[in-house]
Amino acid sequence: MTGGVILKDIVKFQQKIVPELIELLKKRYDVLRTIYYNQPIGRRILANNLGIGERIVRAEINFLRSQGFIKINTPGMTVTKEGEEIINELKDFIHELRGLSEVEKIIKDDLQLKDIIIVPGDCDKDRTVMNEIGRTAANYLKSILKDDDIVAVTGGSTIKTVVDNVSEVSNLKNILVVPARGGMGRNMETQANTLSARLASKIGGTYKLLHVPDNLSDEAVQTIIKEKDVKDIVKNIYNADILVYGIGRAYKMAKRRGMSEDRINKIQSEGAVGEAFGYYFDKQGKIVYSTPSIGIKNEKIGKIKTLIAVAGGSSKAEAILSTEKNNHNSILITDEGAAREIIKFIK
């Protein structure tokens, strides 16, 4: 009997015999995890984040403090080392408790993915979950990194969360981090260039930047790509061993890229629901439009050894499905909210 089977059996027995304890465990795990990702945090904000009454939160806080899992100071509540250990140790149990192993298997088989990791919760309803997605993706990235790897990253708030959660690494040699595409948007903090530099700093690598704006005309792209510096970095991007990218809803991403209403309407009329690295996909995973830019090309994606797609929230389910349908070398890291909606689409 494997450990996984034993854990599943324990969960089944507990759900049948002491279901009230299971609910209490889930609640205390959610309280502890929310404090961890928002510390220091006050009681009222904690209650609002969890969507439960202050009286219930007070009772749980008193219990967690009595067990030494949290501390309460003037700035607010913080999780102790023991509390952090409990969060990590409970993760697999909560995963089984919510039946996420089965959900992972269904989605992995249907989309023929290399792998899928689902974290509990829905970041559309609880922003804490996005931190958990980021931490899971960061840990996965660190677990597969090896000397001489080239890592390409896209921009966006989700990938920023991944980079934020990467802890310092000092045992790797000759890692190169590059932006997957030209820059997008006005927010420097979430641009691919900024995230590449930050990630390289954390993993002891070097980085190259692509100083090319997004949404250029085809003529401008053809001119700039002839520049030696641009040519060199594009070659690095095409030779990437790992690509870390976010997934967006087509309409939202088109608006963010400053497209005209006519262009947005055309993309929508052609059935676009999802966007990744500048490509817009319909429900069947077919590309219906791509933004002119310098960087990763969809036809090169299949040659990259490991794709790490990171996205969460039930509202992104259809977008995730559309972008991942033909990416069989992809590892999808998402949340329960998106995964359960994906299952509905699959069925």
The string of pLDDT tens digits covering residues 279-328 is 999 999 999 988 767 778 888 888 899 999 999 999 999 999 999 988 88
| Residue 14 pLDDT grade (very low, low, confident, very high; cuts 50, 70, 90) | low
> Which CATH number fits the domain 3-97, given the four candidates 3.40.50.150, 3.40.50.1220, 1.10.10.10, 3.40.50.460?
1.10.10.10
DSSP per residue over 13-72, as a string?
Answer: HHHHH-HHHHHHHHHHHHHHHHHHHH-SB-HHHHHHHHTS-HHHHHHHHHHHHHTTSEEE
CA distance 342 to 347: 9
Helix boundaries (H) for the chain: 3-17, 19-38, 43-50, 54-66, 81-97, 100-111, 128-144, 157-164, 192-202, 218-224, 228-238, 250-256, 261-269, 298-301, 317-324, 336-346
Percent of the chain topping pLDDT 90? 52
| In the chain, domain spans | 3-97, 100-346
- pLDDT tens string 234-251: 888 899 999 999 999 999
- pLDDT tens string 145-204: 999 999 999 989 999 999 999 998 888 899 999 999 876 556 778 888 999 999 999 999
Q: Which two tokens stand for residue 131?
A: 């931190």
Percent of the chain topping pLDDT 70? 91
> Hey, what's the torsion of the CAs at 179, 181, 186, 191, to 10 degrees?
-20
Per CATH, the number for 100-346 is 3.40.50.1360
CA distance 316 to 314: 5
Instruction: Return the DSSP state at 215.
Output: S
- pLDDT tens string 257-276: 788 889 889 999 999 999 99
Which pLDDT score is estimated for 151? 97
Which pLDDT score is estimated for 173? 93
Residue 219 has pLDDT above 80, yes or no: no
Q: Are 43 and 57 in contact (CB under 8 A)?
A: yes
**What sign for the dihedral angle of Cα 155, 161, 163, 164?**
positive
Instruction: Return the DSSP state at 1.
Output: -
CA distance 139 to 161: 12
- pLDDT tens string 76-94: 999 999 999 999 888 888 8
Q: Which amino acid is at 243?
A: L
Q: Are 233 and 210 in contact (CB under 8 A)?
A: yes
Q: Which amino acid is at 245?
A: Y
Name the residue among 87, 90, 43 with its Cα closest to residue 69.
Answer: 87
CA distances from 132 to 227, 315, 318, 333, 343 (A): 41, 18, 21, 10, 21
Which pLDDT score is estimated for 316? 96
Q: Are 161 and 133 in contact (CB under 8 A)?
A: yes
Residue 61 has pLDDT above 80, yes or no: yes
CA distance 190 to 194: 7
Residue 2 has pLDDT above 50, yes or no: no
